[in-house]
Amino acid sequence: MSDQIETAPVRAGDELNWPALEAWLRARIDDLPEDAMQVVQFPRGTANLTYRLAFGSRQLVLRRPPFGKIAPGAHDMAREYAILSRLWQAWACAPRAYAMCEDAGVIGAPFVVQEYRDGGLVIFGEAPPSMAGLPDLGTRLARALADCLADLHKVDYAACGLSDLGKPDGFVERQVAGWRDRWARVASAEAAERYDRMGTRLAEEMPQSGPPAIVHNDFKLDNCQFLPGQPDTVVSVFDWDMATLGDPLVDVLHDRGGAAGVLSNADHRGPGVGQVLLEPGDGHPLAEEQSPQGVDVSCACGERRLGSDLAEVLGFVAH
């Protein structure tokens, strides 16, 4: 059995102004074949709309925000372009962005055009057939994501021209303040006091941030690409419209439970990224101890992958 099909015909209602788009691309992308543009859609996901454009053998990816009202700062195509037009030179998992259009008159919204990476697969919900029979699949996927994330956080963002990506000073404080504000807006009367106590505790016991790094801000299994039958290495990372500069351990928190735990095949479920980054081993005396949340801790593994002091890692996990 082959792996899942990654594309499908464009959904009804998701059509764009194809002639205007093709004209815009031909004026800005060099060496496009003369073949008429063919379009299919990546049907997975519920946020940005993503299409594969083919001009004969040349293939590109277009991403644009969803239809409807967009919250301020959300689905930031300009941010994604700023990152992917530079990061690919320093980190192989980043697809290259070729062009950005801020003129909503072309297809109804700003959009970014980037490299299409053929031959890989993104895992949604269950192990793909090419990986289904592999031993320890969940753990292997989680380890691959952990190593990929640690490598991203080691990228010298200044050297690849991304110093203007965000404001790392006060990043965690702003994150917590934003959570508290959103909780206050939606919490029911019976939950409001509990959320308020939680927010107060987070603000009072906030771990001190270490050196800043590129933070993907939505790092998870189904934003990563693997080669068929090869769960030990991530080859591409997608969805960069929320990336910024900040404390890299925030990325670990975002996917603590989801690295491979999202697999619906019970036999293949594995730990989250945070657990793998802190997995037992290496003979350290803390290896068999557990945090209050039950995450096995290994000083050597956590520090080797993250370059972070164990106490910093545990502080974030505990909170």
Residue 315 has pLDDT above 70, yes or no: no
Burial of 314 (0-12, 13-18, 19+ CB in 10 A): buried
Residue 5, in any domain of the structure: no
Which residue from 6, 11, 16 is spatially nearest to 42, judged by alpha carbons? 6
Residue 227, in any domain of the structure: no
Which residue from 228, 231, 233, 180 is spatially nearest to 203, judged by alpha carbons? 180
Q: Is residue 113 within 8 Å of residue 269, measured between CB atoms? A: no
Q: Domain range holding 310?
A: 278-319
CB atoms within 10 A of CB 185: 7
DSSP, res 11: P
Residue 48, in any domain of the structure: yes
Q: What is the pLDDT of residue 263?
A: 53
Q: Categorize the per-residue pLDDT at 267 as very low, low, confident or very high, splitting at 50, 70 and 90.
A: low
Residue 83 has pLDDT above 70, yes or no: yes
Residue 311, in any domain of the structure: yes
Residue 287 has pLDDT above 80, yes or no: no
Looking at the 3D structure of the chain, how many domains does it have?
2
Q: Categorize the per-residue pLDDT at 228 as very low, low, confident or very high, splitting at 50, 70 and 90.
A: very high
Query: Bigger pLDDT: 201 or 19?
Result: 19
Residue 218, in any domain of the structure: no
Question: What residue type is assigned to position 69 of the chain?
Answer: K
- 55, containing H or E segment: strand 49-55
- CATH number of the domain at 85, please: 3.30.200.20
Q: How far apart are CA 316 and CA 319, in angstroms?
A: 5
Q: How far apart are CA 118 and CA 69, in angstroms?
A: 33
End residue of a domain, out of 92, 115, 138: 115
Token readout for 105 is 């008159």
The distance of Cα 68 from the centroid of its chain, to the nearest Å, equals 23
- 54, containing H or E segment: strand 49-55
Residue 143, in any domain of the structure: no
Average of per-residue pLDDT across 90-102: 97
Residue 61, in any domain of the structure: yes
Question: What residue type is assigned to position 103 of the chain?
Answer: D
Q: Categorize the per-residue pLDDT at 318 as very low, low, confident or very high, splitting at 50, 70 and 90.
A: very low
Token readout for 126 is 């269950």
End residue of a domain, out of 115, 132, 152: 115
Residue 221, in any domain of the structure: no
End residue of a domain, out of 115, 150, 168: 115
- 149, containing H or E segment: helix 137-153
Token readout for 64 is 């644009």
Q: Is residue 122 within 8 Å of residue 133, measured between CB atoms? A: no
